[in-house]
Chains A and B, each alone.
Chain A
Amino acid sequence: MDALPREAHSYAMELRQVGRAVDRPLISVVDDDESVRESLPDLLGEFGFAARTFSSPEEFLASDCVDRTRCLILDVAMPGMSGPELQRELKLRRREIPIVFITAQREETVRPQVLEQGAIECLFKPFSDTALLDALNAALRVH
């Protein structure tokens, strides 16, 4: 089926991602769910964004992406530091990165809370690709 061997394909994908990263806006994804970390970067790539994934807020904060991230797609509930806590932490560090929250919990209390704290959007999983794109565009327009 593949024109290229699997290794070559992967390499090409990587190159494309890196190459785009030079000029494309960087979207960072922080979610402890692996399926999210696996699926979102491809979609973001299709949108024309560069994407980096992190399994925890701590990992994100420790990375070199904090200053380069144009928008943060952030899960709400995670072991250790939670999404809203990372939001607070970034505010304390004066890193005003636009945040789009994604959550699997349909709790109506979380959404107004994070929006009040300045989040661009709070999407409930599963969300449509267009809803995500709208949210990202809104985020990038702000800044």
Chain B
Amino acid sequence: MQMRSLSTWLILGLTLTFLIGPFIIIIFAGASAGNSLAFPPDGLSLKWYLKVFTVESFRASFLLSMFLAVVGTLFALALGVPAAYALNRYKLPGDELIRTIVAAPIIVPGIIVGLALLRYLVVPLNFTVGMALFFAHTALILPYAVRVVSSSLNNLRSDMEEAAVLLGCTRVQAFFKVVLPNIRGGVLAAFILGFVTSFNQVPVSLFLSGPGVRTLPIDMLSYMEITYDPSVAALSALLAFMSVAIVFTAERLLGFSRYV
């Protein structure tokens, strides 16, 4: 028995070191007092963590990524919630087709999406790169929005809203007064999932960047090609903390994992 629990912890220890270790290395590499990327770092300091906030291009691309993640996800929800509701509550002609169409973005590799929108929206139709980027991120989140909201609608019996309608609500009122409050958790979970997915997304944004339009991960990629200082490590660590904090809070507050 002793032997077995020893080997259990050995296997788990090695696996977790492999999975989490690089992340810890990044935190320390970013906290270096020296000027080049190294581990163990040449002395500890927070200068790179502070420097990140003063790099102009990081600030601009952070704001763009935030905007895409927040507004793109809201837009995807504005499209996805009604669609999920319709697919759940109505007998629609061609509902399988609609389901497949709105779920499609999850299957298509991101790099193809970015290139396709660049070639056929931006170039011939005069869409700006920013608009194409926004649509690409929205499309990417749409499947998650529909799926997560659908599953919480599935758990909500439809007689509640039928009762509301019988008692004099319009269909729209019934939705906002009865349905929406009850699927709040699912909608919020979809928002968080969409936010994290969009914020960390790289392949979709790869071709969709131009002067002044660049998401944060893309900006980091091009920064690390030129410079070899610890600022990207510091920034990576900060972003990782942000994602983990968001998901952790969501899990604590609403049992996020139930919905995903």
Q: Is B truly associated with A?
A: no
